[in-house]
Amino acid sequence: MPAGWAVWYIAVMPGLGDAGWIRRGGLLVVVVLTACNGADSLRMEGAVPAELWSDIPVLLPRVTALSADGRDLPNVAVEVRVDPAANARVENGRLVAVHHGAAVVRWSVPGTDLAQSKSVDVMVPDALDVTCPTTPCTVRVGEQLRLKATVRRGAEILGAAPVMWTSAEPKVLEGRAPGVFAARTAGPASVTAVLGTLSKTIPVRVSAAKVDDVELACAQDPTVPDGDDGACVVKIGRDRGLRIRLMGGGQTALGFDRRWKVKDRRIARIVDDKLSGLQIGRTTVTLTAGGKTATLPVEVWPAACSEKVQAVLTYIIPEDVPRRGYQSYRQRRYRRYDDYGRLLPRKVQLACRVPEPESCITFYKEERDLTYPDAFESCCCRAQVR
């Protein structure tokens, strides 16, 4: 008799038999073969993850039918199905995500009420973002960089995803754990996060561990010349970029805090690593980073001449100036003597196309050591001797 079949003996009264029935001792015995497979329970080897991500198939656990005494029944088929099939399906023993939503995986033995089921959330994201603790993304040699991946579907942020991380330059930035990288040597690098068909790459700069030198200079600006002694020239109300370079061990040092100090904050200030002119004059700015400093002289010049006169004033030139440049006609025409040949104070009527020209004239006389006519011209002022 085949395994898995049960035998039932039914006694029937004599004389009721018919062809094909078996008579024994006056009783009719009917042999009934019942298709009972003997399966009593199911055993699952493995687990189904709580979340199923798109393009990342998951191997389904092995489910075996067991007899009442715990023996495997390899000949008993166990069927598996997914409901709803629109969200996930089974391919070659693996569970594959189809559509965002929820699904139930169910194992059962046909013809019996034996069944097991597991619920799973099907995740089908449409965006993958990577964030770095600093902007731009930098890390120093000997330190660890921790990146964070965010997976979204529309505006909804999904749970923790099995993102794969790789470094394009492992000799510079070495992967240690998911999203964790160790900085080995200074230089440029990049990190890529991959989730199924989604990917995101961000550039990373590995900096020297310390600062050995600070270089500070003005950015190129063709509208203004260089000042005396290499001073950085900026006009009132204008900004000028600064070239900053931190070096350590022959490599660029990044990610170090910068502290600025302006000697005379009435003349200039630093905003977002840019030099801004406030008032005509001369001062210095000092940058400190990583324990090293650099100083840059600064000259603030007047803004460009406007089309209209913005200030009219009477300027008095002291008696003892100018003392040089007697060959210059422009200087001679500002000199005034009385009837006895004595030098008298001169009142000069100025029409200036810049606001507050007094500080401008004083700057060019004292700091730039120009003659008064040249100082007036540099400050967009036209003068007439009274």
Would you place residue 211 in the very low, low, confident or very high pLDDT band (cuts 50, 70, 90)? very high
Same structural domain, 277 and 350: no
Across the range 326-335, mean pLDDT stands at 44
Phi-psi group of 307: left, alpha or beta (phi > 0 → left; psi -120 to 50 → alpha; rest → beta): alpha
Same structural domain, 265 and 194: no
Q: Tens digit of pLDDT for each residue in 172-190?
A: 999 999 999 999 999 999 9
> What's the CA gap between 386 and 84, in Å, rounded?
100
- Whether the pLDDT of residue 266 is over 60: the answer is yes
Q: Tens digit of pLDDT for each residue in 13-37?
A: 444 444 344 444 444 444 433 335 6
338 assigned to some structural domain: yes
The dihedrals phi and psi of 52, each to the nearest 5 degrees, come to -115, 120
In SS3 terms, 162-197 reads as: CCEEEECCCCCEEEEECCEEEECCCEEEEEEEEECC
CA distances from 234 to 137, 281, 295, 381 (A): 31, 10, 16, 20
Task: Give CA angle at 286 (283, 288), nearest 5°.
Answer: 170
Q: Is 385 helix (H, G, I), strand (E, B) or coil?
A: strand
Q: Residue 86 corresponds to which tokens in the numbers above?
A: 């629109």
| Candidate from 42-56, 189-203, 337-351 with smallest mean pLDDT | 337-351
Domain boundary among 282, 301, 320: 301
Distance of CA 182 to the CA centre of its chain: 18
Locus of tokens 């002022």? 381
> What's the CA gap between 254 and 90, in Å, rounded?
51
> What's the CA gap between 373 and 282, in Å, rounded?
21
User: How buried is residue 164: exposed, middle or buried, by Cβ count under 10 Å (0-12/13-18/19+)?
Assistant: middle
142 assigned to some structural domain: yes
- Whether the pLDDT of residue 139 is over 90: the answer is yes
- Whether the pLDDT of residue 325 is over 60: the answer is no
pLDDT at 363 (0 to 100): 81
154 assigned to some structural domain: no
Same structural domain, 108 and 174: no
| Candidate from 34-43, 70-79, 112-121, 370-379 with smallest mean pLDDT | 34-43
Task: Assess contact for 226 and 250: CB atoms under 8 A.
Answer: no
The pLDDT > 70 percentage for the chain reads: 82
Average pLDDT over the chain, rounded to an integer: 83
Same structural domain, 291 and 234: yes
Q: Residue 297 corresponds to which tokens in the numbers above?
A: 């002289």
pLDDT at 36 (0 to 100): 52
Candidates 38, 26, 28, 29; CA nearest to 1 is: 38
Same structural domain, 30 and 59: no
Q: What is the number of structural domains in the chain?
A: 5
pLDDT at 326 (0 to 100): 40
Q: Residue 350 corresponds to which tokens in the numbers above?
A: 């100025």
136 assigned to some structural domain: yes
Q: Which residues pair with 22 in a beta bridge?
A: 29
pLDDT at 385 (0 to 100): 58
Q: Residue 3 corresponds to which tokens in the numbers above?
A: 């395994």
Q: Tens digit of pLDDT for each residue in 275-317?
A: 999 888 889 999 999 999 999 999 888 877 888 888 898 888 7
Same structural domain, 264 and 284: yes
Same structural domain, 64 and 115: yes
* CA end-to-end distance (rounded Å), the chain: 137
Across the range 241-263, mean pLDDT stands at 90
The pLDDT > 90 percentage for the chain reads: 53
Same structural domain, 217 and 297: yes
Element (H, E) at 366: helix 357-366
Phi-psi group of 68: left, alpha or beta (phi > 0 → left; psi -120 to 50 → alpha; rest → beta): alpha
306 assigned to some structural domain: no
Bridge-based pairing state of the strands 94-97 and 58-59: antiparallel
- Whether the pLDDT of residue 262 is over 70: the answer is yes
pLDDT at 347 (0 to 100): 80
Locus of tokens 């039914």? 10
Domain boundary among 301, 328, 354: 301
pLDDT at 37 (0 to 100): 64
**What is the DSSP track for 114-145?**
-EEEEEEEEE--SEEEEE-SSSS-EEETT-EE
Q: Residue 77 corresponds to which tokens in the numbers above?
A: 């088929």
pLDDT at 319 (0 to 100): 57
Whether this model's pTM surpasses 0.95:
no
Task: Name the residue range of residue 12's domain.
Answer: 5-35
Classify residue 228 by its DSSP letter: G
pLDDT at 341 (0 to 100): 54
pLDDT at 343 (0 to 100): 53
pLDDT at 1 (0 to 100): 41
> What's the CA gap between 381 and 375, in Å, rounded?
9
pLDDT at 386 (0 to 100): 55
Task: Assess contact for 379 and 354: CB atoms under 8 A.
Answer: yes
339 assigned to some structural domain: yes
Classify residue 239 by its DSSP letter: E
Across the range 107-118, mean pLDDT stands at 92
Domain containing 109 — which CATH number?
Answer: 2.60.40.1080
| Candidate from 99-103, 224-228, 259-263 with smallest mean pLDDT | 224-228
**What is the DSSP track for 3-23?**
TTEEEEEEEE-TT---TT-EE
Q: Tens digit of pLDDT for each residue in 52-71?
A: 999 999 999 999 999 999 99
239 assigned to some structural domain: yes
125-149 exposure pattern, b = at least 16 Cβ within 10 A, e = fewer:
beebebebeeeebbbbbeeebebeb
Across the range 240-257, mean pLDDT stands at 88
AA identity, residue 97: A
Task: Assess contact for 70 and 60: CB atoms under 8 A.
Answer: no
